Amino acid sequence: MSADPQTIERRQQQLVAEFSAVEGWEERYRKIIALGRELPVLPDELRGEQQRVRGCQSQVWLHAELDDEGRVIFRADSDAMIVRGLIAMLLRVYSGQPPRAILSASPGFIEQIGLTRHLSPTRSNGLHAMLEQMVYYAKAFQTLLAARDPQR
């Protein structure tokens, strides 16, 4: 996913608006699955134990790297279609943003869309595990950037 100048808040608002336009949870699940189908396949070399997200019922791999402009670029995949869609949503919100922005953002869109109420407990726990892993990477990259340039 390429860098985007939009803020995390604006990206969240766009997702909430997209899901608000969809009637009923059966259709929303279809939309989540469609987002997952659009997610590029993660190469095998990024599907190791080091990239696995713990706490997910399904297999989920999350790779993060820092680009030349200090933005975190996330790539991810899962063996379950609904989970691929959930991770695609997280990537749309957080990928391409600076670590500081990721760390200061509240994931309000999860509640606003209704995911907390409509996902099974195991899927909801997995979603939060994926988000926690993204925050973990952002903290690590923020520490790295601060060591390079204390002004960050």
Q: Active-site residue numbers?
A: 56
**Residues facing 62 on adjacent strands:** 76
DSSP code, position 45 = G
Are 111 and 36 a contacting pair, CB within 8 Å? no
Q: Between the CA of residue 58 and those of 36, 48, 75, 82, what are the distances in Å? A: 14, 14, 17, 10
Query: How many CA within 13 A on the CB side of residue 139?
Result: 6
Cα separation, 101 vs 110, in Å, equals: 17
Of 12, 11, 10, 30, the closest CA to residue 22 belongs to 30
